[in-house]
Amino acid sequence: TCSVSDIEIENGFFSESDFTYALNRETSYRCKQGYVTNTGETSGSITCLQSGWSPQPSCIKFCDMPVFENSVTKNNSTWFKINDKLDYECFIGYENEYKHTKGSITCTYYGWSDTPSCYERECSIPILDPKLVVSPRKEKYRVGDLLEFSCHSGHRVGPDSVQCYHFGWSPSFPKCKGQVASCAPPLEILNGEIKGTKKVEYSHGEVVGYVCKPRFLLKGPNKIQCVDGKWTTLPVCVEEERTCGDIPELEHGSVKLSDPPYYHGDSVEFTCAETFTMIGRGSISCISGKWTQLPKCVGKYVCIKWILYERILKAVREKGQVTY
Ligand SMILES: *[C@@H]1O[C@H](CO)[C@@H](O)[C@H](O)[C@H]1NC(C)=O
Ligand SMILES: *[C@@H]1O[C@H](CO)[C@@H](O)[C@H](O)[C@H]1NC(C)=O
């Protein structure tokens, strides 16, 4: 036989009142509040074997799934043992108190080591040039918020607006300067040219555009600006190797034939058959390996019919009836 006094259940107790059990008899035990068995249950069973009680009863401290605040976990366990780790991730635009978007908490004897809480990310209120006018003025700036600038006096040097990102404000803030320098003519770029006529001098804030030659693709901003004597970054023209496939067919229309290959920047012109009218642009261009949108040729008949209908309506309105 096995006896209840043969074994001590740490943090648990026998649930039946019998004292001795015959060979192969099973009994059950319960764990104290806040403890579970190896398998996460509040109660377990042990059997009296030749060698004594088996298996060893066990009641261990556990942690429940905690409450998540603006965060989620991929772990779907319902309970955790001491020293188990639980990873969590903050919702997009949120971070935990350590400014991280991910975190990990540990189940300890006293409960979870921390709360899986995340807070909306913010940008600090910037310390600015007093000549700068900022809008909107707020107590808090969140990720995605825009700040716009102008100058009380002088000229703005730098961007007209910045945005709050998770890493802070970008780009950097402008300044207001009393005197700003003008720029020398902008540089030429390889395989591209400046739009419009070139001047001898450009004043602060002036913008110049660039275009690339056919077969070349513009990389970077297509405009540069004169900022206090310096031009912003120049674009570059890189060769576009992708060519376009066959010229698409236009219903009731025809194309002025040209031979492939069709390179980036090439365009072809369409005309509609005699009794058709074109809707859309009469030419399409090959842009990075794809043709732009095809126009449409619609029957003029549609228009004639509409005009007739208008006349009939007018006649009905005037005479109360119509014969045709
Ligand atoms: C928990 O996750 C495991 C592995 O990711 C998966 O096999 C199991 O079906 C999930 N259980 C529930 C209840 O979602
Ligand atoms: C959940 O957490 C436990 C304890 O840290 C770990 O053993 C288990 O692998 C985790 N499960 C998943 C699906 O990540």
Neighbours of 241 (CB within 10 A): 11
Query: Domain spans of the chain?
Result: 2-62, 65-120, 122-177, 192-239, 243-324
Question: How far does the chain reach from its first CA to its final CA, in angstroms?
Answer: 115
Confidence of residue 168 (pLDDT cuts 50, 70, 90): confident
Kind and range of the H or E element at 320?
A: none
| Average pLDDT for 145-151 | 91
> Which ligand sits nearest to residue 77's alpha carbon?
2
Structural domain 2-62, CATH architecture: Ribbon (2.10)
Distance 86 CA to ligand 2 centre (A): 7
107-116, 128-137, 296-305, 310-319 — which one is most confidently predicted on average?
107-116
By percentage, how much of the chain surpasses pLDDT 70? 96
Burial 3-19 (b: 16+ CB within 10 A, else e): ebeeeebeebebeeeee
Q: Which two tokens stand for residue 269?
A: 């012109």
What's the pLDDT at 305?
A: 66
Confidence of residue 114 (pLDDT cuts 50, 70, 90): very high
Closest atom of ligand 2 to 76 CA is: 13
**Residue whose CA is closest, atom 9 of ligand 2?**
75
Nearest to 78 by CA among 130, 54, 42: 42
Q: 41 or 315: whose pLDDT is higher?
A: 41
Burial bucket for residue 310 (CB in 10 Å: 0-12, 13-18, 19+): exposed
Distance 54 CA to ligand 1 centre (A): 30
Nearest to 65 by CA among 90, 43, 84: 84
Span 174-202, pLDDT tens digits: 989 989 999 999 999 999 999 988 899 99
Confidence of residue 17 (pLDDT cuts 50, 70, 90): confident
Taking the C-alpha atoms of residue 42 and residue 11, their distance in angstroms, rounded to an integer, is: 11
* Torsion sign across C-alpha atoms 179, 185, 188, 192: positive
pLDDT above 70 (res 321):
no
Distance 147 CA to ligand 1 centre (A): 45
Q: Which of 3.10.20.30, 3.40.50.1470, 3.50.50.60, 2.10.70.10 is the CATH number of 192-239?
A: 2.10.70.10
Span 287-304, pLDDT tens digits: 999 999 999 998 876 555
Domain 122-177 has CATH 2.10.70.10: yes
Structural domain 243-324, CATH architecture: Ribbon (2.10)
Mean residue pLDDT across the chain = 89
Q: Would the CATH topology of 122-177 be identical to that of 192-239?
A: yes
Confidence of residue 318 (pLDDT cuts 50, 70, 90): confident
Distance 18 CA to ligand 1 centre (A): 40
**Residue whose CA is closest, atom 12 of ligand 2?**
75
pLDDT above 70 (res 274):
yes
Q: 40 or 241: whose pLDDT is higher?
A: 241
Strands 102-108, 119-120: pairing is unpaired
Neighbouring C-alpha atoms within 13 Å toward the C-beta of 299: 5
**Residue whose CA is closest, atom 7 of ligand 2?**
84
CATH superfamily of 65-120: Complement Module, domain 1 (2.10.70.10)
Q: From 64, 75, 84, 106, give the residue whose CB has the most ligand 2 atoms within 8 Å, as the site to mutate.
A: 75
Distance 71 CA to ligand 1 centre (A): 19
Taking the C-alpha atoms of residue 217 and residue 236, their distance in angstroms, rounded to an integer, is: 8
Name, in order, each residue with C-beta under 8 angstroms of 187's C-beta and a sequence gap of 6 or more. 231, 234
Taking the C-alpha atoms of residue 107 and residue 113, their distance in angstroms, rounded to an integer, is: 6
168-170: strand order across its sheet: 132-135, 146-151, 161-165, 168-170
Report the length, in residues, of the chain.
Answer: 324
Kind and range of the H or E element at 319?
A: helix 301-319
pLDDT above 60 (res 99):
yes
Pocket of ligand 2 (CB under 6 A): 74-75, 77, 80, 84-86
What's the pLDDT at 30?
A: 95
